[in-house]
Amino acid sequence: MEKKNIKAVDFFCSGGGMTKGMTLAGIRVIAGIDIDPNCKETYEANNKGSKFILADVYELEEKELKKELGLRKNDDNLLLIGCSPCQFWSIIRTDKKKSEQSKSLLIEFNRFVKYFKPGYVVIENVPGIVSKKDESGLTDFVNNLESKGYKVVFKNVNLNDYGVPQTRKRFTLIASRVTKNSIFPKPSRKKKPTVKDFIGEENGFSKVQAGYKDKTWNQHTVAALSTKNLLRLSGTPPNCGDSGWWRTDKELGRLKYRGDSFKDIYSRMSWDKPAPTITTKFFSISNGRFGHPEEDRAISIREGATLQTFPKRYRFVTPSIGQAGKLIGNAVPPEYAKRIGKAIVNSK
């Protein structure tokens, strides 16, 4: 079988998780597009040969992109990837007003798909985009693809089935007009990966304390903890211990649960289970079960990136933990992106 020479454009690229995974699969990502200027240095530092385009997709014109990247319409070897910010369609109860501007990004991405009619299309998003498929634009998106002769497959999957050591549920769509066969990566037959497969001393992570600042490329930096929170975590049993022991303690203070989705805050990960979904706030124990399984601290920036399957040499060029957390938590795990890419490259 002749090897495919696929080139891709990664819309909403953020820090480059999808780009890195696709590159590892043998796909040449010629550009990443994002509105956030804080993504530029990280994207370019880790994805040599891929051009970063700072642009608002609402304002970006199809002809402008065609000219800048030398793209052709109806190119069988072109892949357009759209991993738009998805907080508005998330099932997690968040303030939707902050993310309302992003709710129509799939519709905007569809403009480029209609214009270029590429050989392949990939979307990765939250599962909630399916339950709100009419409002999110997914129904029209799929209908347009199928009317143009694309074979479309979409599913909600748990990325722990695809080599990612997290319970991370995501929506994935893969479409092609150059084959009548369905394209989608197959779940692993191997044992599902857990936290201990990726972090800990055996995986090269030295023991550090809360507030540790790693000034090397490794970025094993850890957020500081208040005296009270350090006491709370130090008394929490190792390996999946939760915060129930101190919640009625008069000295440490009462802290009420804010609904079932917040029951894991101030708790520890388990060595023998996948991590919870790595969010943009994974460096804070008050934002989820992000306590280290044994050490009295939250997981570090590098540990969070590793649980997202970023290569250990992937550098996050940011001035703060908060910005690094955003780039890591918003990313498509490169391992999953690689598997999507390989499914496309190996398709018949």
**Which carries the bigger pLDDT value, residue 105 or residue 224?**
224
206 and 236 share a domain? yes
**Which carries the bigger pLDDT value, residue 273 or residue 130?**
273
Domain count, the chain: 2
Q: In this structure, is residue 175 part of a structural domain?
A: yes
Q: Per-residue pLDDT for 230 more than 70?
A: yes
Q: Per-residue pLDDT for 91 more than 80?
A: no
Q: Place 1 in a pLDDT band, splitting at 50, 70 and 90.
A: low
Which pLDDT score is estimated for 90? 42
Closest CA to 222 of 342, 324, 91, 310: 324
From 40-54, 58-72, 103-117, 165-179, the region with the lowest mean pLDDT: 103-117
62 and 132 share a domain? yes
Decide: 106 and 82 in contact? Cβ < 8 Å: yes
Instruction: Based on the residue annotation, tell me whether 240 is a catalytic residue of this protein.
Output: no
Query: Which CATH number does the domain housing residue 254 bear?
Result: 3.90.120.10
Q: Which residue range(s) make up the domain with 31?
A: 7-187+332-345
Q: Model's pTM, two decimal places?
A: 0.93
Which pLDDT score is estimated for 131? 78
Distance linking the first and last C-alpha atoms of the chain: 8
19 and 164 share a domain? yes
The predicted model gives 261-272 an average pLDDT of: 84
Decide: 106 and 138 in contact? Cβ < 8 Å: yes
List 13, 39, 86, 240, catalytic entry: 86
Residue whose pair of structure tokens reads 């993504």 in the numeric block: 39
Q: In this structure, is residue 324 part of a structural domain?
A: no
**Amino acid identity, residue 206?**
S
Q: In this structure, is residue 313 part of a structural domain?
A: no
**Which carries the bigger pLDDT value, residue 256 or residue 151?**
151
Decide: 222 and 297 in contact? Cβ < 8 Å: yes
207 and 337 share a domain? no
Q: Per-residue pLDDT for 227 more than 70?
A: yes
Six-digit token pair at 2?
């002749």
Q: Per-residue pLDDT for 261 more than 50?
A: no
Q: In this structure, is residue 85 part of a structural domain?
A: yes
Which pLDDT score is estimated for 177? 97
Mean pLDDT of the chain: 91
Q: In this structure, is residue 194 part of a structural domain?
A: no
The predicted model gives 213-232 an average pLDDT of: 94
Query: Which CATH number does the domain housing residue 182 bear?
Result: 3.40.50.150
Q: What percent of the chain has pLDDT over 70?
A: 90
77 and 99 share a domain? yes
Six-digit token pair at 93?
């109860």
268 and 222 share a domain? yes
Q: Which helix (H) or strand (E) holds 78?
A: strand 78-82
176 and 60 share a domain? yes
29 and 177 share a domain? yes
Which pLDDT score is estimated for 134? 77
Q: Which helix (H) or strand (E) holds 29?
A: strand 28-34
Decide: 180 and 151 in contact? Cβ < 8 Å: yes
136 and 209 share a domain? no
Q: Per-residue pLDDT for 241 more than 70?
A: yes
182 and 206 share a domain? no
167 and 236 share a domain? no
Decide: 85 and 99 in contact? Cβ < 8 Å: yes
Which pLDDT score is estimated for 133? 77
Q: Per-residue pLDDT for 92 more than 70?
A: no
83 and 144 share a domain? yes
Q: In this structure, is residue 79 part of a structural domain?
A: yes
From 62-76, 96-110, 146-160, 192-206, the region with the lowest mean pLDDT: 96-110
Q: In this structure, is residue 321 part of a structural domain?
A: no
